[in-house]
């Protein structure tokens, strides 16, 4: 997927200007589909499989699967030297897939870095590059995530390489330096621990009630039973039970699922999307972290937290603030947070690579406003969503690239259209900031 003039759409300084604007048009109202109905679909309709985007089939089907998994120790405070991949506008979160397509012609350091990782334990470090206060220089973020390569394809001439990697462990960046050969950077990192807190009332709990203790679920009776048990355990405590519930991971999981079920209902396969929301507190905290439509600096906040309870509480606070998505350059309103929905089993947001090797964090939106569409037929070349063609979308005010509109090639496919917007091109703003009280 690329810009109409052959340049990558990842270039933040690129804007549509001059004659190029003649190739764009303002979408009409029917470009945005109506709110989906939860009634039974027609037999001829085909629901999109949310597992397809996770496969990144556009990279080809000839990738070799690498077996085994390596976890770096986080107990003794040891540090590790790892090949480093600095990235702009991409914050990798544990559990998130990172596809890469590079060649030594344009990305020789990256090819050498990947080769070094493959020769070792298949792990490299990823860190986001942030701009300083003057917006003149980039610097490394203080935290990042290790990535483990699980599929690879080397070009016959060893000048190109395609890989799929997955985020594994958070780390603290200690220092960076050039590789001894000077081809790519390496980083010394310390793996951050994942702290699991015990049941806060374990010392006060009545042991005779242990057989009644179960994990919280959507069953109303089970939830009420758990609340009664917590109330009983808190009798000997100085604090009431509702205080402990604010730090109960299972209760936080139940509270977290509610806003995402509301968002998922916009998806025509909402029941599938809802069932794929993790129930494990650690997995859910990372799932939400990689799905939030926020900027890089904000997305790094949960990566610095070593406990799922802390991450879930912060994420719940963030979700409770109504917000809209605006153009990052001119603040033009593009979409509402309620219009975000899942087209992938991986979550509301996915990481994809275009044919030029640029990586995009992409948010899928049910409808968008304030955009211009390129006046060309949808292209299926290197499409991230099988069965959909893409059309370049630009902000209607500043004419900067904001993403793509995806249109189904089969008219019976559900949904028949949606929007994929670049997270780097968006800025999440609270509604009260846009409409302050007088």
Q: What is the DSSP string of 215-231?
A: ---S-HHHHHHHHHHHH
Establish if 84 belongs to a structural domain: yes
The answer to whether position 360 is within a domain reads yes
Strand order across the beta sheet in which 333-336 lies? 333-336, 323-327, 426-430
d(CA 282, CA 284): 5
Domain carrying residue 304: 1-195+278-438
The predicted model gives 314-334 an average pLDDT of 88
16-36 per-position pLDDT tens digit: 443 344 455 566 554 554 444
pLDDT confidence bin for 46, thresholds 50/70/90: confident
User: Model confidence at 144, in pLDDT bands (50, 70, 90)?
Assistant: very high
Counting Cβ atoms within 10 Å, is residue 290 exposed (0-12), middle (13-18) or buried (19+)? buried
pLDDT digits (tens, 9 = 90+) for 82-103: 999 999 889 999 999 999 999 8
Inform me whether the pLDDT recorded for 285 exceeds 50: yes
Task: Read off the CATH number of the domain in which 288 is found.
Answer: 2.170.150.20
Q: How many domains does the chain have?
A: 1
How far is the C-alpha of 144 from the C-alpha of 141, rounded, in Å?
A: 7
Q: Tell me: the pLDDT tens digits for 105-124?
A: 778 889 999 999 999 999 99
On whether residue 250 sits in a domain, the answer given is: no
| CA 94 remoteness from chain centre | 10
Least confident of 5-14, 118-127, 157-166: 5-14
Residue 263's pLDDT band, with cuts at 50, 70 and 90, is low
CA distance 2 to 14: 12
Is a pLDDT exceeding 70 seen at residue 259? no
* Residue 366, H or E segment: none
CA distance 263 to 258: 9
269 part of a folded domain = no
Q: Is residue 328 part of a domain?
A: yes
**Span 132-158, mean pLDDT?**
87
Q: Report if residue 284 sits inside a domain.
A: yes
Q: What angle do CA 12, 18, 20 make, to 5 degrees?
A: 75
175-179, 194-198, 273-277: which range is least confident on average? 273-277
What pLDDT shows up at residue 191?
Answer: 97
Alpha-carbon distance of 50 to 112, in angstroms, equals 33
Q: What is the pLDDT of residues 327-370, one digit of tens each?
A: 999 999 999 887 888 888 888 889 999 988 999 999 999 999 99
Which of the pair, 251 or 151, is modelled with greater confidence? 151
Residue 421 pairs with which residues in a beta bridge? 363, 403
Straight-line distance from the first to the last Cα atom of the chain, in angstroms, rounded to the nearest whole number: 45
Indicate the average pLDDT of the chain: 81
**For the residues 394-409, what does the mean pLDDT come to?**
95
- Residue 175 CB partners (closer than 8 Å, separation 6+): 187, 188
- Structural domain contains residue 258: no
Q: How many CB atoms lie within 10 A of CB 161?
A: 20
267 confidence band (pLDDT: 50, 70, 90): very low
- How much is the average pLDDT of 9-20? 40
């Amino acid at each position: 997927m690329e810009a109409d003039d052959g340049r990558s759409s990842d270039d933040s300084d690129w804007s549509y200007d001059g004659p190029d604007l003649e190739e764009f048009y303002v979408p009409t109202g029917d470009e945005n589909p109506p709110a989906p109905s939860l009634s039974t679909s027609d037999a001829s309709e085909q629901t999109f499989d949310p597992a397809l985007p996770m496969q990144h089939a556009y990279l080809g089907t000839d990738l070799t699967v690498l077996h085994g998994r390596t976890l770096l120790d986080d107990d003794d405070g040891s540090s590790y030297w790892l090949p480093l991949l600095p990235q702009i506008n991409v914050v990798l979160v544990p559990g998130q897939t990172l596809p890469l397509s590079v060649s030594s012609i344009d990305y020789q350091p990256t090819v050498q870095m990947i080769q070094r990782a493959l020769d070792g334990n298949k792990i490299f470090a990823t860190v986001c590059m942030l701009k300083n206060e003057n917006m003149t220089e980039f610097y490394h973020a203080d935290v990042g995530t290790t990535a483990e390569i699980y599929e690879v394809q080397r070009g016959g001439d060893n000048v190109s390489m395609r890989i799929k990697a997955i985020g594994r462990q958070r780390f603290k960046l200690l220092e960076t330096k050039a590789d001894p050969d000077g081809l790519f950077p390496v980083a010394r990192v310390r793996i951050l621990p994942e702290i699991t807190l015990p049941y806060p009332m374990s010392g006060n709990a009545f042991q005779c009630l242990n057989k009644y203790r179960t994990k919280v679920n959507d069953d109303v009776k089970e939830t009420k039973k758990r609340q009664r048990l917590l109330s009983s355990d808190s009798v000997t405590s100085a604090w009431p039970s509702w205080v402990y519930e604010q730090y109960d991971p299972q209760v936080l999981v139940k509270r977290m699922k509610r806003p995402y079920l509301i968002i998922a209902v916009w998806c025509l396969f909402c029941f599938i999307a809802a069932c794929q929301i993790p129930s494990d507190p650690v997995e859910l905290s990372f799932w939400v972290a990689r799905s939030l439509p926020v900027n890089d600096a904000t997305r790094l906040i949960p990566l610095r937290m070593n406990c799922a309870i802390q991450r879930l509480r912060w994420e719940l606070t963030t979700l409770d603030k109504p917000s809209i998505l605006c153009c990052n350059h001119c603040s033009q309103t593009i979409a509402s947070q309620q219009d975000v929905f899942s087209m992938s089993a991986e979550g509301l947001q996915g990481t994809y690579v275009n044919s030029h090797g640029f990586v995009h964090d992409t948010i899928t939106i049910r409808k968008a406003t304030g955009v211009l569409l390129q006046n060309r037929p949808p292209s299926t070349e290197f499409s991230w969503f099988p069965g959909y063609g893409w059309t370049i979308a630009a902000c209607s005010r500043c004419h900067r690239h904001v993403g793509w509109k995806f249109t189904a090639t089969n008219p019976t496919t559900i949904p028949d259209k949606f929007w994929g917007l670049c997270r780097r091109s968006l800025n999440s703003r609270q509604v009260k900031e846009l409409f302050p009280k007088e």
